[in-house]
């Protein structure tokens, strides 16, 4: 059957597209070329691919160029897959790496079925995901602005001892600082202005995400996910944006593996060695689930806020949420009482939390 298929490996960079074409099961590429990664080059590439014999299957790795190449080829009725880079086999003995060799490697691995394809989001889904990630960027920028201001004040001998940093009292203290030297005052004013601007930008993103979460087509899924402790609108929208559709995962362990919270393993024969989590897959999902997992170190008793969020939800969703409360609270306490580090306990709880999220996703 493979003899009727033309396999095309594409190594895409910002400026160029290197392609390697294999006919059927041939060992060496029948055709290789380089195209500019622009509208003209894409047009020439599509024209060339349409002249190839048999069924044409293309593949390239996910990277900084996003899904543009996939969508362009799909529009021209040319089959194209995108491979997950973190799951592409690495040849330990290879010490030479070029774009040309990478294109050959992708085609060979694709033909052998050794690549893992990623799910391509619709344009609306991609827009939502970009907004969620832009909000994360704004949060990182705010943290950097805070650190720079604190380091500047520390170098000048100012240190807040009246409570926690970035509390109302801390912000009032920063606002009241005045330097005698004009240059120092100018630096302080600029740092404070940057801090204010970054905080405002973060609020703008969060307000927009909150509004989207209360609208269709997200409202129902958000309300179901918020039945779980530690999941509010921002976390629920992150799960929706990054996971795309939880029903595409065959079971809960598949979802856990996709976000890299399963243990790594290096076993051979009778020796079994398990290590830290793999950290492969979607790091954005992994981060929000670990953050949410910390909520289960407290009592399993449901408070007023959670009860209000669960009002009017279907019985099967409530059952999942209640089982999650009991199971994860017990898991967290059991691990900590057994001497496990709290951070490792949170990761273990996040793994099981992923299972309950997957269960809700099969209903939502």
pLDDT digits (tens, 9 = 90+) for 8-24: 999 999 999 999 999 99
Please give the pLDDT value at position 88.
Answer: 87
**Closest to 237 measured CA to CA, from 250, 248, 226:** 226
- What CATH fold (topology level) applies to the domain 2-111? Nucleotidyltransferase; domain 5 (3.30.420)
Q: How far is CA 161 from the centre of its chain?
A: 37
> pLDDT for 282-319, tens place per residue?
899 999 999 999 999 988 888 899 999 999 999 999 99
**Residue 225 to residue 240: CA distance in whole angstroms:** 9
Q: Which secondary-structure segment (H or E) carries 169?
A: helix 168-175
pTM, entire model: 0.87
What is the chain's length? 364
Number of H-type helices and E-type strands within the chain: 13, 7
**High-pLDDT (> 90) share of the chain, %:** 84
Residue 13 gets the label, from left (phi > 0), alpha (psi -120 to 50) or beta, of beta
Assign 346 a pLDDT band (cuts: 50, 70, 90): very high
Higher pLDDT, 278 or 269: 278
| Among 94-103, 169-178, 180-189, 307-316, the least confident range | 94-103
Average pLDDT across the chain, whole number: 93
Strand partners, 56: 6
> pLDDT for 48-92, tens place per residue?
999 999 999 999 999 989 999 999 999 999 999 999 988 888 877
> Hey, where are the domains in the chain?
2-111, 123-213, 219-361
CB within 8 Å of 208: residues ≥ 6 apart: 131
Q: In 272-314, which ranges are continuous DSSP H helix?
A: 283-293, 304-310
């Amino acid at each position: 059957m493979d003899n009727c298929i033309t396999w095309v490996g594409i190594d895409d960079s910002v400026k160029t597209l290197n392609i390697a074409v294999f006919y059927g099961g041939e060992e060496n590429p029948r055709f290789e070329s380089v195209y500019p990664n622009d509208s003209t080059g894409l047009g020439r590439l599509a024209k060339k691919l349409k002249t190839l014999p048999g069924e044409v299957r293309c593949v390239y790795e996910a990277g900084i160029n996003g899904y543009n190449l996939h969508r362009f080829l799909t529009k021209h009725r040319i089959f194209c897959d995108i491979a997950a880079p973190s799951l592409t086999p690495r040849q330990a003995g290879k010490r030479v790496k070029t774009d040309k060799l990478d294109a050959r490697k992708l085609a060979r691995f694709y033909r052998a079925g050794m690549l893992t394809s990623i799910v391509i989001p619709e344009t609306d889904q991609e827009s939502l995901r970009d907004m969620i990630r832009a909000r994360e960027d704004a949060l990182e920028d705010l943290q950097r602005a805070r650190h720079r201001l604190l380091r500047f004040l520390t170098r000048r001998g100012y240190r807040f001892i009246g409570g926690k940093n970035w509390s109302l009292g801390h912000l009032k203290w920063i606002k009241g600082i005045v330097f005698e030297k004009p240059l120092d005052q100018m630096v302080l004013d600029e740092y404070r202005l940057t801090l204010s601007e970054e905080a405002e930008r973060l609020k703008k993103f969060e307000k927009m995400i909150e509004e989207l979460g209360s609208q269709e087509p997200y409202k129902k899924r958000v309300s179901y996910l918020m039945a779980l402790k530690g999941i509010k609108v921002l976390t629920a929208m992150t799960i929706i944006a990054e996971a795309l559709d939880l029903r595409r995962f065959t079971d809960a362990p598949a979802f856990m593996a996709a976000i890299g919270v399963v243990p790594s393993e290096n076993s051979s024969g009778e020796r079994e060695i398990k290590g830290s989590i793999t950290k492969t897959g979607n790091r954005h999902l992994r981060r929000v689930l670990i953050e949410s997992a910390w909520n289960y170190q407290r009592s399993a008793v449901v408070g007023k806020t959670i009860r209000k969020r669960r009002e009017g939800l279907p019985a099967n969703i409530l059952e999942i949420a209640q089982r999650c409360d009991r199971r994860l609270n017990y898991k967290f306490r059991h691990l900590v009482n057994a001497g496990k580090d709290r951070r490792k306990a949170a990761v273990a709880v996040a793994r099981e939390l992923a299972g309950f999220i997957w269960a809700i996703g099969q209903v939502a």
